[in-house]
C-alpha cells in the first residue's frame, strides 16, 4: 500500500488445475503473476490482503490456502504438498551452507533418507534432475552464477515430488538447451497425480510443455485456453494474447504498442483498451470473462467479433 493507497495486484483470478496437468501463466512483467504465486503459498507481505478461495485438494487433505495459518503452511504445505521454484533463487538458498548440504537436508526431511552414503547419493540424483553439475555441489550460493542458482533451487523444489509444483520463472538465466532440459524435467513432474503451475514470460518454454495457457494483463486473467489451440490454429482470442505471440522473433516480431498501466492507477473499463486496435465505446466497461476470454471484441475463428 504505497503512500497509503491500496493496489489491487490480482483481481478475479479464476482457474482450476487438475492432476497430471501443466498450466502456464504468461504475461508481461508486473502483471501480477508472481503476486498470485506468493498468495497461494502465504508469502505476501504482512500488509497484503487476500479474498476468495484457493483450495488445495490432493488426496492427502483439503486446505484453504488463503486462510491457512502460517504454522499449517510451513508444517504441511510448503515443500510437502506444494514445491516452489522461486523467481529469485538466491534469496531462497541458505548463504552459509553448500548446495549439497541443503539438498541433503531436504532429502532427509521430505524423503526420509538417513544413511550418510544414501543421503549423498540421493542429493546427487536430485541435482542431476535439474542439470546441476556435481562438481559444484560443495559450493556456497554466492559462488554460483544466476543460472546455477536457478538450477539449485529447481533441484530443491523437485525433491519432495509434491502434488503441486509452482515454478515462478524457472528458466531465468538459462541458455536455450538448459531451458528445454529444465522445462522437460518440470513436465515429467506432472506424471500421475502431480500438477504444475508454471509462471513464465518465456512463451517458447510454455509452448513446449503446457497443456493450457492462462494470460494475465494488469492483474487479471484475460484468457484461458488449450495450449495447442493457443499456439496453433486458430490461436488466441484476446487481442493482448495475440499481440504477445506476434512479438516473438520467430513470428511477426511486432511489439505491442505502448506500455501496460500501473496496477495502482488502472483506467476505467478495459485495461488494454489504450493499446488495442479493436477498441470501441463498449471498452469503457470492464469486460466480464466469457467462454475463457475477457474481451468485448474477441477474435473468433473465421469471424471478426469487433462489432459483435
**Residue 45 domain-assigned?**
yes
- Classify strands 220-226 and 212-217 as parallel, antiparallel or unpaired: antiparallel
Q: What is the CA radius of gyration of the chain?
A: 20
293 phi and psi, to 5 degrees? -140, 135
**Residue 127 domain-assigned?**
no
pLDDT of residue 308: 39
Contact criterion met (CB below 8 Å) for 152 and 99: yes
The string of pLDDT tens digits covering residues 121-156 is 999 999 999 999 999 999 999 999 989 999 999 999
The DSSP code for 255 is P
Q: What is the DSSP string of 70-115?
A: HHHIIIIIBTTTEEEE-SSHHHHS-TTS-HHHHHHHHIIIII---S
**Residue 196 domain-assigned?**
yes
Cα–Cα separations (whole angstroms), residue 258 to 255, 272, 273, 277: 9, 10, 11, 12
pLDDT of residue 192: 83
Q: How confident is the model at residue 302 (pLDDT cuts 50, 70, 90)?
A: very low
**Residue 214 domain-assigned?**
yes
**Residue 99 domain-assigned?**
no
Across 251-274, average pLDDT: 94
The tally of domains found in the chain comes to 1
**Residue 302 domain-assigned?**
no
225 phi and psi, to 5 degrees? -150, 155
The string of pLDDT tens digits covering residues 20-35 is 999 999 999 889 999 9
Cβ atoms < 10 Å from Cβ of 12: 14
Range of weakest confidence among 172-176, 245-249, 277-281, 290-294: 172-176
Contact criterion met (CB below 8 Å) for 235 and 226: no
**Residue 1 domain-assigned?**
no
Domain containing 174 — which CATH number?
3.40.50.300
Q: What angle do CA 169, 194, 204 make, to 5 degrees?
A: 35
**Residue 130 domain-assigned?**
no
Query: 205: closest CA among 26, 15, 19, 20?
Result: 26
Q: Determine which helix (DSSP H) or strand (DSSP E) holds 34, and give its type and residue range.
A: helix 33-41
Q: Which domain holds residue 45?
A: 15-81+162-232
pLDDT of residue 149: 93
Amino acid at each position: 500500500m504505497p503512500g497509503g493507497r491500496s493496489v489491487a495486484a490480482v483481481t478475479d483470478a479464476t482457474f482450476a488445475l487438475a492432476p497430471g496437468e501443466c498450466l502456464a501463466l504468461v504475461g508481461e512483467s508486473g502483471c501480477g503473476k508472481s503476486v498470485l504465486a506468493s498468495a497461494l503459498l502465504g508469502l505476501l507481505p504482512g500488509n497484503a490482503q487476500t479474498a476468495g478461495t484457493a483450495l488445495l485438494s490432493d488426496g492427502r487433505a483439503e486446505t484453504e490456502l488463503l486462510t491457512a495459518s502460517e504454522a499449517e503452511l510451513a508444517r504441511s504445505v510448503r515443500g510437502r504438498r506444494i514445491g516452489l521454484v522461486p523467481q529469485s533463487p538466491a534469496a531462497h538458498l541458505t548463504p552459509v551452507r553448500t548446495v549439497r548440504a541443503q539438498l541433503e537436508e531436504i532429502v532427509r526431511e521430505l524423503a526420509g533418507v538417513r544413511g550418510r552414503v544414501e543421503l549423498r547419493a540421493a542429493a546427487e540424483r536430485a541435482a542431476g534432475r535439474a542439470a546441476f553439475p556435481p562438481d559444484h555441489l560443495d559450493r556456497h550460493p554466492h559462488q554460483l552464477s544466476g543460472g546455477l542458482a536457478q538450477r539449485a533451487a529447481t533441484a530443491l523444489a523437485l525433491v519432495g515430488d509434491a502434488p503441486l509444483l509452482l515454478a515462478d520463472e524457472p528458466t531465468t538465466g538459462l541458455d536455450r538447451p538448459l531451458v528445454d532440459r529444465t522445462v522437460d524435467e518440470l513436465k515429467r513432474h506432472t506424471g500421475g497425480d502431480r500438477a504444475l503451475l508454471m509462471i513464465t514470460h518465456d512463451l517458447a518454454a510454455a509452448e513446449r510443455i503446457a497443456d493450457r495457457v492462462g494470460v494475465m494483463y494488469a492483474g487479471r486473467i484475460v484468457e484461458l485456453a488449450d495450449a495447442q489451440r493457443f499456439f496453433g490454429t486458430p490461436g488466441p482470442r484476446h487481442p493482448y494474447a495475440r499481440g504477445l505471440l506476434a512479438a516473438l522473433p520467430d513470428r511477426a516480431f511486432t511489439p505491442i504498442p505502448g506500455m501496460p498501466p500501473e496496477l495502482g492507477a488502472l483506467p476505467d473499463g478495459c485495461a488494454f483498451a489504450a493499446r488495442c486496435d479493436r477498441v470501441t465505446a463498449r471498452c469503457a466497461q470492464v469486460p466480464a470473462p466469457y467462454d475463457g476470454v475477457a474481451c468485448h471484441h474477441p477474435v473468433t475463428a473465421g469471424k471478426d467479433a469487433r462489432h459483435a
